[in-house]
Structure 1
Amino acid sequence: MTTAWLVLAVGDDRQHGGNDGYDDDPSQHYSWDDTVPNHGRIAVGDVIVLWDKKQLLGLGVVSEIETGSQTKTLYFCPECNKADFKRRKRLTPACRCNKCGALFDVPGSKTRQVVTYRSRHGEVWMDGRGLLTGRELRALCDSPDSQLSMRPARWEKLRDALLATEGLTIDDLDMEDGDGEGSTADAEVRSPIAGGHRMANVRTRVGQGPFRKQLLKDHGQVCAFTGPAPAAALQAAHLYSYADESEHHDWGGLLLRNDVHSLFDRGQIVVNPDTGRIEVDDELLGYPAYAELHGRAPLVSLRPEHEVWLAAHWRTHRPAPAAVPPSRVPGAAS
């Protein structure tokens, strides 16, 4: 039987236990840590269903769970020491405790070492934005009234609810576990794929959340190459190798749509420093969505710092041809 998990992903507004939030990319990965109830129950092969309290964002199949460690700041009510409080955007004092009702501007804080988790689920992903409402999703959970950010749900009920929406078929929801349950009579017979649960230790990018917030503040919800896009579809792209630098340089990043970000990192999408225009690899020209980027100027205003980083990126992925020695030039004197 396929296990499903309804998990909360609401971008920069996501809060749990009074912390600084998480760096989520709904169509690719979801992050949490061991302060979250049910943190150790989600497994490779489970269906992960992301929502933002109001609607379904999409669903995928967990292919890998990475683990690491991080020093985390936790915030709490200074009156009752509980972490269950709400940050208020327009009212003062800025915070209200849901437990004791206290109002305060500055919460108490402490640090602790936590185990971090990140699911990878982009290999099997279906965008479901708007197909089901928050109320409909809650009803599919084992405990509909639960307030947990990670809660078990019934995959069979979720599948049936999605199939009832206009235009979806069973082929769109190919997330079964291969045991035959829920399959159709004419479904393709597949050999089982070896599964299991692989835990991988990874380095966590400290400061990635604030870096993304700053880019959203600088440019709004705009992919620098393709134009306006939902915030959930935008990633904070470093214009240099963060693995080498390990720093978030001022004006060293742009917001890019997640697919464009991947291609940019591979050097298949670059900006020519001589023309200031975007260039894409020949193999991408067969895809209209990328072909239309070729020869277009970036859609956000670039500072000189951006241009320096983009020129370095260009030189890395479009190195100048090596000079030919004079003796090898046709017609040259030997």
Structure 2
Amino acid sequence: MGDDRERSGNDGYDDDPARHYSWDETVPNSGGPAVGDVIALWDKKSLLGVSVIEHIEIGRAEKDRYTCPLPNCGKGSFKPRKTKQPVYVCKCGGAFDVPNSRREEVTTYRSQHDAAWVDMAGALSGAVLRSMCDKPTTQHSIRSIRWERLQEALVGAGVTTSVTIAEQARRTIAGGHRARIVRARVGQAAFRARLLERHGAVCAFTGPAPASVLEAAHLYSYAANSEHHDNGGILLRRDVHRLFDLGHIAVDPGNLVLDLAPELSAYPDYAPLHGAAPAVPLQHGREWLAAHWAQHRGN
């Protein structure tokens, strides 16, 4: 895993670097990783660890894609701003409050690699890892790299024992024989941990819930930013998180109460939320809530 990447705006992924990595067919080189491949995961600064892919779960899912609405652009290379208006600024030089969105069905992939995970945090810098890739100048999140070259660099960094463990795992797990270097959504686990410490095991919309079902949700499109703003994050139950991402649940930026799409009124677990105040006060990030509201409510 490496530098933060500008993805064609989407709602991000649920990575846990030591266990699994998720991507879909819209990611360049999406079909490259295979069972048995060595996988080196890094953030924008340094190596996180090395493992071997044990299994890849393949499925289909609907995905929201966000693009710049300005004429002659239409790309996903935009980021939210913390204080300035309009909310988003694009690499094309324009600024806007609401991106264009479309939904499409895509093939999804999720690697399982926890059994062979070897923590190598900080052993190699991001610059060194980039230089060793087969195509060092590309900004793709999945890149190929020769395992032998990575081995040599790691041994030189003094983590010989860890390299031996990874090599044994590679030989044990049947399948691919290549190496991949992939880039994680930086700091997702730490972001969730900070939210749990601040708010406790509480879904921001529904109230107390087991920590195991709570996910770190962004009030803004993380895909357009690739940064975690603590004031722009809340904890949501997995089902509620999905409904929020889809716009079926929104927060009225005027009075900060929950608004449910009409189709949810038939479900007794959700219907009482309509018009209710969130379980956690949302005094920060009104501009992001307003952008979410405008996108999904159209006013």
TM-score (norm 1): 0.52
Greater mean alpha carbon deviation, residues 89-98 or residues 29-38: 89-98
Alpha-carbon distance in 2 for matches of 1:62, 1:217: 30
Residue 5 of structure 2 corresponds to residue 27 of structure 1: no
With over 3 angstroms needed to count, the CA separation of the structure-2 counterparts of 1:70 and 1:44, relative to structure 1, is same
Which residue does the alignment assign to 1:96?
89
Alpha-carbon distance in 2 for matches of 1:26, 1:193: 19
Residue 77 of structure 2 corresponds to residue 116 of structure 1: no
- Deviation of residue 255 (structure 1)? 6.2
Residue 72 of structure 2 corresponds to residue 72 of structure 1: no
With over 3 angstroms needed to count, the CA separation of the structure-2 counterparts of 1:57 and 1:221, relative to structure 1, is farther
Which residue does the alignment assign to 1:47?
38
Residue 197 of structure 2 corresponds to residue 219 of structure 1: yes
Mark the runs of 5 or more structure 1 residues left unpaired by the alignment. 1-6, 179-191, 198-209, 225-235, 239-247, 257-304, 306-334
Which residue does the alignment assign to 1:152?
144
3-state SS in 2 of match to 1:32: strand
Please tell me the residue identity of whatever aligns with 1:136.
V
- Contact 1:215–1:254 (8 Å) recurs in 2: no
- Contact 2:2–2:45 (8 Å) recurs in 1: no
Among 136, 151, 158, the residue aligned to 1:166: 158
Higher helix share: 2
- Contact 1:9–1:24 (8 Å) recurs in 2: no
- Contact 2:2–2:43 (8 Å) recurs in 1: yes
- Deviation of residue 103 (structure 1)? 1.6
- Contact 2:37–2:53 (8 Å) recurs in 1: yes
3-state SS in 1 of match to 2:104: strand
Residue 80 of structure 2 corresponds to residue 87 of structure 1: yes
Alpha-carbon distance in 2 for matches of 1:155, 1:221: 42
- Contact 2:53–2:113 (8 Å) recurs in 1: yes
With over 3 angstroms needed to count, the CA separation of the structure-2 counterparts of 1:52 and 1:214, relative to structure 1, is closer
Alpha-carbon distance in 2 for matches of 1:42, 1:141: 15
Please tell me the residue identity of whatever aligns with 1:250.
G
Residue 16 of structure 2 corresponds to residue 38 of structure 1: no
With over 3 angstroms needed to count, the CA separation of the structure-2 counterparts of 1:40 and 1:102, relative to structure 1, is same
Alpha-carbon distance in 2 for matches of 1:175, 1:24: 25
TM-score (norm 2): 0.58
Say what the alpha-carbon RMSD is for the aligned residues: 3.4
Which residue does the alignment assign to 1:292?
none
Alpha-carbon distance in 2 for matches of 1:62, 1:194: 10
Residue 207 of structure 2 corresponds to residue 250 of structure 1: yes
Overall identity of the aligned pairs, in %? 45
Alpha-carbon distance in 2 for matches of 1:93, 1:132: 39
Alpha-carbon distance in 1 for matches of 2:173, 2:212: 36
- Contact 1:85–1:95 (8 Å) recurs in 2: yes
Alignment map for 1:175-254 (pairs within 5 Å): 175=168, 178=171, 194-195=174-175, 216-220=194-198, 250-254=207-211
Residues 22-44 of structure 1 show CA distances to partners (whole Å, capped at 9, x for unaligned) of: 00110000000111111111100
- Contact 2:35–2:174 (8 Å) recurs in 1: no
Alpha-carbon distance in 2 for matches of 1:129, 1:193: 23
3-state SS in 1 of match to 2:128: helix
- Deviation of residue 172 (structure 1)? 3.7
Residues 168-208 of structure 1 show CA distances to partners (whole Å, capped at 9, x for unaligned) of: 33524425754xxxxxxxxxxxxx765479xxxxxxxxxxx
With over 3 angstroms needed to count, the CA separation of the structure-2 counterparts of 1:122 and 1:104, relative to structure 1, is same
Residues 278-315 of structure 1 show CA distances to partners (whole Å, capped at 9, x for unaligned) of: xxxxxxxxxxxxxxxxxxxxxxxxxxx9xxxxxxxxxx
- Deviation of residue 215 (structure 1)? 7.2
Alpha-carbon distance in 2 for matches of 1:160, 1:255: 39
With over 3 angstroms needed to count, the CA separation of the structure-2 counterparts of 1:114 and 1:220, relative to structure 1, is farther
Residue 38 of structure 2 corresponds to residue 60 of structure 1: no
With over 3 angstroms needed to count, the CA separation of the structure-2 counterparts of 1:118 and 1:143, relative to structure 1, is same
**Greater RCO, 1 or 2 (C-alpha within 8 Å, sep 6+):** 2
With over 3 angstroms needed to count, the CA separation of the structure-2 counterparts of 1:164 and 1:221, relative to structure 1, is farther
3-state SS in 2 of match to 1:160: helix
- Contact 2:63–2:104 (8 Å) recurs in 1: yes
Alpha-carbon distance in 1 for matches of 2:154, 2:168: 13
Alpha-carbon distance in 1 for matches of 2:3, 2:165: 23
Q: Structure 1: which 4+ aligned runs deviate by more than 4 Å?
A: 175-178, 212-216
Which residue does the alignment assign to 2:99?
107
Alpha-carbon distance in 2 for matches of 1:221, 1:110: 33
Mark the runs of 5 or more structure 2 residues left unpaired by the alignment. 178-187, 214-278, 280-299
